[in-house]
Structure formats: structure tokens, C-alpha cells
A and B are shown apart, each in its own frame.
Chain A
């Protein structure tokens, strides 16, 4: 018995010592949206270490990444501006410090063969992750085509499973983003996208959202993270780097580079100048503020949450703007 307690206290002591040896890195949760897969380029090329910032990127499925953020297990998460409002209204607010991109076709509603337009979805079943970005896309599409939300039946499906669900013909259409939507198109040959974010540009912006506490404590570190992002963005825009970038990007999601290449069009990564313009406050979809206010109104109308969210509280352009002289 004595031996056991002695051993136990020694073990505890060692564990405590291990804990204090490393300072906590910034934990960022990312998932399989092309605008966020791009972070992988910075990770693999060691640009974060070069910049002197200690970050740990944790790979999740999209919704579990937000769950981990709400549970406080990560300091930041990559989300759409709409989903930031949803997680903020129901659990934990966040501050967007950096706009990665806007969705330009990579979010899509894929319908089974025989359905040629979103109008044909009336009375049919759609597999979608309820309450999140594709749900928003679907409702936008329905509204633009004169249909009501009640005209379709939502079947709650995790986005990663939508290809199988579509192929099994359990639903007539699914909502997903690349690379999942591409898998769905391949899984059920003859299926096609009937509504994409290219049909409603500006409703989906993708940002890096940081917890207010972490932002306050580590402002200098987060600024460095933003700097690395624009290095990544510049790298991807150069055609000479295309093959190398594609290798890293496609490797992260286990695709072949030629399968990944079409995604570059559907996710418009903002250059620094484009980003500055998007940060300007306006009410239209060309501004991230306008887009967020628009999504808020939409969410309230469709009763995703009850309390209106203040778009200004979720957005902080200061770190991006601070880079201006260097860029």
C-alpha cells in the first residue's frame, strides 16, 4: 500500500512538471472547406514557426469543430459568418479577425438525376445539416425561386455523410460544400448542382473566429497568424506555385490534385486589397458587415435562434488593417 501511494505521488509530480514545461500554444480548429484547408500550406511550410507564433491546428469535421470551440477546448475556429452567429446565440460568442474567402460556387445543393432545378424540389426530401451554412443556402435558394421553407422536408444529415445518403436514394437532394459535394456528384452519377453559392454571392463569408478572452490575452500572437495567412493567400495566387500548393491542399483531404483544382474557382480567397474593401461597413452583401446583418435577419425569420445578434460585436478588422504598411 505504501509503495502504491509513493508511486502515485511521484507520477502526479511528473505530470505536473510536464504541464509547466510547455506554454500553451494557440489552438485553432479547422475543417474541410477549401478556404480553411489553405491553412495547411502555412503549417507544412513552417511559416508559423518562422513568424514566431506557437499554434496548433486541430483537424475536425465542421460541426464538431464548432462543438469543440463552444466547449472551450480550442481558442479559435474557422466558421462561416452565419454559423458564428448561430454558435454565439446558443453558446459562445466569438470575434472574426480575418476573412479567408467568400463562397463562390463550392457550396451547393446537389439534386438526384431527374431534378433539373430547385423549383423541382417542391415536396421532396433534402439531406442537410440543420441550422448551419447549407441550410442557409437552401433557404436562400428556395426564397429566390418563390418557394417556402415548408415546401421541402429537411432530413438532418452530417455533411460528411451526404454523398452516401444521396447515393442510397434516401433523399432527393443534399446540401454540402466541396469536397463533400464533389463526392456526392461522383457517388450518384447524373446528379447535378441545382443551386450554388455562385447564384447568391456574398451570403457566405468564411472567417477565422477567435474567443474574446484569447484575443485579448494574445493580441500580438493573433496578429502574426493573420500575417501568415496573407503569405498563404499570395502564394496560392501565383501560378508557378499551383502544383505545389495543390499537392499540399489535396493531400490534406486525400484527393488527387486534379480533383482539387476545380475547387479554387468556387472558393474565392480574398487578396489583401479585396479583404480591406470587404471590411468596409456597408449594408450590401459586398461588405462582411452587410452580409452578417443579412444572415442575422434570415436566421431570425427562420427561427434558427430567437435573439437578434449584433454583427459589429462579431467582427474586428483591426488586426487585418494593422498589416497595411507592410502590404
Chain B
């Protein structure tokens, strides 16, 4: 159904629309209601998040994006249980959740692998502290390491691995606990462009093969559009929900789709949400007038 007054990015193919309706029928994995977070500082109370509400469905890939200072990291830390919300509630499969736990895995931006443990021991960590006998934990860990393709490195230490490999280990480590939701806080931010692209494709592969719901924090618009089903766009000062954008780009996603008009439209829309026109970031930089300009250059 094509209507001329619907913004382009919202025009969904039949297939895509069907997918979304199926998605919304699935159980709600993560339910956030009126989440508010205040910080006490010497200068007064700062509201980091105000009345954030959204749902994440089972097996969904949701990204969270927004301008700097919108509280993305605070939000994901509260969802993972590392911080407590001032108001509001958080339900994981209809059970209230507070405090960190293995049911909500977390992959950090700085990898935070345990440097004194090998790759295998890192991945085994969760099952081991849960009380699983070592021999079982080991075989579990081996499976996950194989999934992320690092079987050859299972006895290596983190300092011997590259950035991309470390992040794969971090993902394996979190997944070894078979969490219900996996939070990823800008996990590819510290990687170079090539590795980042590979990791994004890799992540989609993993997500396809593992029964997991992913909430992915990023500041990279392309990444968000490429990876996710829906994108939660936040506003800054205070952090609140701006819009939940459904990404109409069909799956499976490949890098060639980056030039697609649908992709571009979605991206542009999100960009406008984050940096509305007329705001200082959008203005052109003043032109520098120099006494002598080099005609060869431009």
C-alpha cells in the first residue's frame, strides 16, 4: 500500500510488514515502563532518563541510538542491573529484574576479558561460578568458542589476541550463560573500520543461529540500520524516547544494501531525529577567508 503522505522510510514491503507483525506477536522479552534515573550532584539533581518505556520482543535485534548525553549507556547499565533506576520498572519475561545476573548478559566496549584467564577459561567463567562441574563447563565453553570461530585460540591469553578476536571471546563468554537478553554497549567502537564491518556480519550470523534477544547500543547510524529490526531513538537532556523506528530494509542484510534508497531514507530520518535541522550541529562551519588561497588545491 503506497500512500504519498507516508514518509519513505516507513514504506514496508509486504514481506517486511508480515515479519514485523509476527515479531510483535512474540512474547515480550524485555519490558521497560517509565524508567527514570536521577543523579545527585553538587550542582543539583540531573535527570539522565525520564519516563523511558519500550518493549523488546523475543529474538528481536533492537538498537538504541541518540545524541551524546542522551543516557544510552546509563539505560543499558540499568537494564543489565549494574545500576538501579530511581523510578519505573523493568520486566524480563514478565519477571521483575533488579541487580545483575547471568540471565542478562553484557558485552562491554572495552572487552573486559579477565586477563589472567585463557580464552577457554574466560568463556567457562559464567558456568563455573554457577556451580557447573568443571568438565561440563569446559565442553560448553568449547562449543561456544567454536561458534565464534576461535577454537585454535582456546588456550591463548587475551593479550595475545587482536581487538576483534577479543570481542568475539566476550560475546562467547556472555552467551555461554545462555542469557535471555544480551546487551551490547558499543562493542565495536574500538575496532578499525574493516574489523568492525566483519564483526557486524559475524554478529548477525551468531544472532541467526542462537536463541537470543539482543539490545545493541551504538552511535553509528549505519551500524544501527544495518543490524537491527527496530531502533530506539533517544533524545537528550533529559534522556527520553524520541521514536521507535522500524527498519524496513529486508533481511538477510548485506553490505551492498547500504546504498539502497530504503537504507538511506531510514538513515536520513534517524539523523534528522538526532540532529534536527536548525540546531547548531547542522549549521555550516563558517568559511575561513585566508589572505592567499592556493588555486591548485581548490
Direct contact of A and B (CB under 8 A): no
* Chain B contacts to A: CB under 8 angstroms: none
